[in-house]
Amino acid sequence: MVVLIDDRLLRAVITDAEPSALRRLRRGDPVYTTGHFYVRLCRAIASPSVAGVLSRSLDVMDDAERASFVAQLTELPADVGMLPLRELAWRIGQLAGEHRLNVLGLEVLAAAETLGATVCFAAGNEGPMLLEAIENIGLGARVL
């Protein structure tokens, strides 16, 4: 199954803390994320002034583990895909007229639609308007 994951699940995949529910869903297939989710994760890790759920896992890492995580984050593992905005921009523009979502949400919709993906969110990271929009375009979403 093609799965599109949010920034919190991306962090979990990179740190080998992938939830078993996600592992079962994708059955070894690559996962995808969006450019905006990727940027949010990079921003949280790269900016010392940003303190929150995404950067919290760094607090328990030693210097070597942190360096390894940053290296994996900047390269992204081979089994993590991301569609370029070049392929999604027009559809994002169309979706903007149909859904009251920010650009991150619109990119999620366009990418999920293009991939035929189920969108997976870490608990607490899902938004009701985005979940409704995913359902309205006939795709599935899971909160893990």
CATH match for 3-143 among 3.40.640.10, 3.40.50.280, 3.40.50.1010, 3.10.50.40: 3.40.50.1010
108 has a pLDDT exceeding 90: yes
Render 80-136 in DSSP notation, one character per residue. Answer: EEE--HHHHHHHHHHHHTT----HHHHHHHHHHHHHTPEEEE-TT---HHHHHHHHH
The answer to whether 140 and 25 have CB atoms below 8 angstroms apart is no
Instruction: Give the range among 58-67, 88-97, 103-112, 122-131 with minimum mean pLDDT.
Output: 58-67
Q: What is the pLDDT of residues 3-28, one digit of tens each?
A: 999 999 999 998 888 999 999 998 88
pLDDT category at 72 given cuts 50, 70, 90 is confident
